[in-house]
Structure 1
């Protein structure tokens, strides 16, 4: 920190110390002001100008340093100076103080506050970028955050001081008037009868209703601004139009039909989306076949004779497709049409916030209107622009399922959940898998101890893990496919037969015409949604992979509820999406199930926590199944049993996780899990034993010591000797 900042910091420290030392917090209370009201009014009447200037100076100081008492001083402004002088003094002083706080944050605390209030500042940055001065005016009119936090946080943005001061003054003026006016009435209370006076009741009513009135006005202005230049149809074909027939789109349409809304679902390919056709369902079917192969290959674990695994890869893939076909009726157009959904096969693009142009797969073109539109177009595998990769005809999680010949040597790019699941499955089915990951471990979003268990199993099963390897080039040399990777400055050559790319996913936004309605995808490819899942316009929504931040089927379904309900009933009540309890499972062997915070995330966010661990090697059911490896890890606040996060690494990890997810969702702590009867012997007993580990670590030792003495006293002073007297040894 440079000398100028140190000097400013020292000055601020001295002023704050003086404020506290002279009892500022105690002086700036309503009780104290009323107590000294008569004497203050007499002095103010004789020294009005000095009083107003002095009051304004103190107000500037309190606001600039974010000291407590600004609200009381605003009431006092009305009480002692009346509406006119009070409003002038408070509005000018609050603007100057806010501007000084803005400058202090910009000069002195930019780095510190960006770190401490990261999420808040990120929201404000997005708001400033999107709406600029209007966003600041919204915060001032309907303060989502305390004013002092707005002052400090805005200093971290790129907003100009002149704009900040002018907008703050104008936007705070209505609220300032309400408070000052309330203060003029407070000064009139001399008896209990005054409390029921019409003026006072009106002032308090205005004070209470102002936030609601301001929120309505801001919403009205925002709506007028965002729809400016668009002509809303007089009538609509549908209540809800949904683009995309994956998990998010299906749930949105289902909800709309359940409440008897007229809804149409537009899908260009197959209903069910990635989850049914290329994701969750086929991958889990393949993983099950791989697990069966591993069981046969290691039957000696169960007292049987291990046998070499023989099978047709074509038959395995046929089984996968049979599984997809068996699940398909759940997502079929026939089922949804019976539910009342108009299923349309084609592509859709925006014409306006209420109108879509639909090109049917048979070439027919029509325009459809709806009061609300939901974008649920999902995502696709991302293929990085590595030289030569396109010439390898790479496999992805989309086109993998058309294989009928098993790759002998499979190169997997990516160490995330998809890459790890498929790498392990193919290795167990007999391919020689080399998995390349740029980082120093697999499953980078999980804690290191979690990834270690998975990587240990991968290596035992024969996967060639290449960590800290970055693929830089692909080529065909002497008829053989090869990949070149950078590894700590060394160029590494890896031959392979086929390459599977699993380095992430990109949202499907091409062809939607989002630019026509002023929507631009974010740098990560997803579209920018608000907390109610709306997409710039209050009647346009997005959910699922196209919206992020989670790319799970269950997350898409969760978001779809908010998109559909807000789309149908948002004019009356809007719901903000709740991500507080979001579980997920990586279906490797062992499985990795997690909900809530990891240790790394808790440290990053500065959240104090304790860790409780339970090893699954202690679980009777795991031992009986020769699957006694892995662990459960639960994060709790120090000394409390509230669950901040839980991870299960082991067989049936996803199923075990459900109990912790339920507990977190409904605020149940580990003590509740411990007090629940679990059937024996089951995998879910492990949740109870993990809770027991927490209880054991937090046992009241002082009480236990006293109980030990009590029990000894109840046995009798010489009970130990008597026990020895009758011993048979």
Structure 2
């Protein structure tokens, strides 16, 4: 028998014996009064023995969460007096409570956390951060049953030593009251004579003291932060937002919706990187490249394969036309119509409540504001390699304008960086006819994905003609006879990659300079440092989007913007912590790579146990009909449970298929719910149901099925 079962059996036996033998009748007020004189005589004759017995019984009663601890506390005062009784009960109650806490942790902690870990994450984080405060407050207020506190706290991550000493200190006041009452036992008719409403109210007030103290300390800290700055008597704005990318647009939209007076400042193009340089133009280019690829392989669909004839200038014009079609959604005119004061210019924070705006037209103004949101975004990271300044490099920001001026696609293209941006652009340009070399210093492309996912992506890129060079380090750039080249090394051997166009895609860095952050002392590392509420050092200055991290995703920026704007406008009443529990991401190679939650390498790194279920798309009818059988769905679940830890999909429209799992994880729906949902036939979405079926099939009840088989045999006669 396993140890937890043995311990549980012993505990149940002890508790059952207590009730069956009616041992509790010895711990009543009437019994205590009747036996007081005899106990006092025994104490006079055998002081050490009674002290030891009393201590042991008190620890046992508390550890087993048995009724009677209050009566024993009274007995301590009646028999031993206030000083001795207080010392005895204080340590016995704390040790017994800690034993009950440890029993709860040993028996139930893992099971509860495995089943409800996602839902309890906020509780776990709160206890890890402020567990001592929570426990101290509960110990001061006798309204909360102490046995319940012991059992429930055992399910949390609070440290055992912290639990013991906080219990020791927190229960002292209540112990004094009861032990002192015991010294006047003859006057007590019932326990309600001790725990009067007035006394309970006093303890409740005491329980609030730690939180009042914490609030006061926060207030003092805030005053220190603002010391030396003069706060305006009135404000021109409720909110000023710096940057009109995804985070800035959503923040200003929310502010205008709740009728706040908001100014949005943008020095460049409305819509930020996503509309003008990232998501929109790259997906437009990827679509054109995908059509060219389908034409080249039309024989897969029973058609004549053909080499696509096209004008590269027309392809780039289509990219520009798509940006133009979407621009009105993010335009100055639209946001002005919504009630946002849009200013084209550069913003610098002068003090915690003042922003200086230098307009693109040369004008200058200073506006005071109650709150500020920094949503300045990020820019491509340029590595400090020898010769890079003369290399003629392009980035995901600059290549669109440059390519729009070309009549022909550059023949030889080197892409430095094998992350999502480099992989997407490399494949698309190769499909349009360029000779693409993709250089990645790591051992695989898409390093944040599992190795099987990265290998699948690499295989598709190489099938499209991309030369994928992993494990290659960029050394320097050279230019000879009008030809430029990147020198890379692999295992000590150098290689020359000549190019007509060079794209740097090694990552992006937050825009941190020029906004006054240094002068205000706002801490920056790779991003603006914020707390869980997205506030900076100054509680009225927030950051959201790429400038805040930790994710550089448009939808995450918009998600953060909600928290930043609501906290900035209504934080005096209640603040919301940014929630990153379910963040999807898609790499738009073909086939796509989409993921939400944990993958295997992350689960292993974090020591999280998991089961894996996989469904290959070549078994799906719609995938077969569409000749889109490349890829798979890989699910990570809690061992023995249907709760989803993470999903990775490689396949056609993987980003669309992922949405069902994002919804399921957000709302705590397991694989059984997905399997019980009707999906249209034939669709790619059926794959989500089938992988749930694979999970269920691997866990079918073999013994029950064997019994059912015998039953059917019997029914047949």
TM-score (ref. length: structure 1)? 0.78
**Given the alignment of the two structures, is residue 461 of structure 1 paired with residue 497 of structure 2, yes or no?**
no
Shift of 1:182: 2.9
Shift of 1:206: 2.0
**Given the alignment of the two structures, is residue 440 of structure 1 paired with residue 443 of structure 2, yes or no?**
yes
Long gaps (5+) in structure 2: 1-54, 103-120, 139-151, 182-187
Distance 1:51 1:198, change over 3 A: closer
1:675-709 CA-to-partner distances (Å, cap 9, x unmatched) read 11111111111111111111111111222222222
In the TM superposition, 1:245-644 aligns within 5 A as 245-402=244-401, 403=403, 404-405=405-406, 406-522=409-525, 525-644=526-645
How big is the alpha-carbon RMSD for the aligned residues of Structure 1 and Structure 2?
A: 3.2
Distance 1:323 1:618, change over 3 A: same
Residue pair 1:195, 1:201 contacting (<8 A) in 2 also: no
Secondary structure of 1:534's counterpart equals coil
| d(CA) in 2 for partners of 1:235, 1:176 | 49
1:188-237 CA-to-partner distances (Å, cap 9, x unmatched) read 47614326524422233224433542343233223222222222111111
| d(CA) in 1 for partners of 2:69, 2:254 | 56
- 1:86 alignment counterpart: none
- 1:238 alignment counterpart: 237
Moved more, 298-307 or 700-709: 700-709
| d(CA) in 2 for partners of 1:141, 1:540 | 32
Shift of 1:292: 0.7
Secondary structure of 2:547's counterpart equals coil
Shift of 1:480: 1.9
Distance 1:24 1:593, change over 3 A: farther
Secondary structure of 1:577's counterpart equals coil
Residue pair 1:185, 1:200 contacting (<8 A) in 2 also: no
Shift of 1:664: 0.6
1:295-347 CA-to-partner distances (Å, cap 9, x unmatched) read 11111111111111221111111110000000000000000000000000111
1:147-180 CA-to-partner distances (Å, cap 9, x unmatched) read 99788999xxxxxxxxxxxxxx9xx8xx987643
Residue pair 2:250, 2:562 contacting (<8 A) in 1 also: yes
Distance 1:317 1:292, change over 3 A: same
Residue pair 2:90, 2:171 contacting (<8 A) in 1 also: no
| d(CA) in 2 for partners of 1:360, 1:136 | 49
Shift of 1:67: 5.2
Give the total of aligned pairs.
Answer: 613
Q: Residue 174 of structure 2 is aligned with which of 163, 167, 182?
A: 182
Secondary structure of 1:557's counterpart equals helix
**Given the alignment of the two structures, is residue 37 of structure 1 paired with residue 73 of structure 2, yes or no?**
yes
Residue pair 1:581, 1:665 contacting (<8 A) in 2 also: yes
Moved more, 351-360 or 193-202: 193-202
Residue pair 1:182, 1:203 contacting (<8 A) in 2 also: no
Distance 1:296 1:58, change over 3 A: same
Secondary structure of 1:537's counterpart equals coil
| d(CA) in 2 for partners of 1:611, 1:190 | 63
1:617-636 CA-to-partner distances (Å, cap 9, x unmatched) read 01111111111110001111
Residue pair 1:377, 1:546 contacting (<8 A) in 2 also: yes
| d(CA) in 1 for partners of 2:89, 2:517 | 53
In the TM superposition, 1:109-120 aligns within 5 A as none
Long gaps (5+) in structure 1: 1-20, 72-118, 128-134, 155-168, 718-729
| d(CA) in 2 for partners of 1:196, 1:150 | 29
| d(CA) in 1 for partners of 2:87, 2:208 | 31
Secondary structure of 2:577's counterpart equals coil
Residue pair 1:271, 1:332 contacting (<8 A) in 2 also: yes
| d(CA) in 2 for partners of 1:709, 1:137 | 58
Distance 1:140 1:530, change over 3 A: farther
1:598-627 CA-to-partner distances (Å, cap 9, x unmatched) read 011111111111111111001111111111
| d(CA) in 2 for partners of 1:516, 1:36 | 63
| d(CA) in 2 for partners of 1:668, 1:279 | 33
Distance 1:626 1:350, change over 3 A: same
| d(CA) in 2 for partners of 1:43, 1:513 | 70
1:565-615 CA-to-partner distances (Å, cap 9, x unmatched) read 001100001000110000010000110010000011111111111111111
**Given the alignment of the two structures, is residue 696 of structure 1 paired with residue 697 of structure 2, yes or no?**
yes
Secondary structure of 1:425's counterpart equals helix
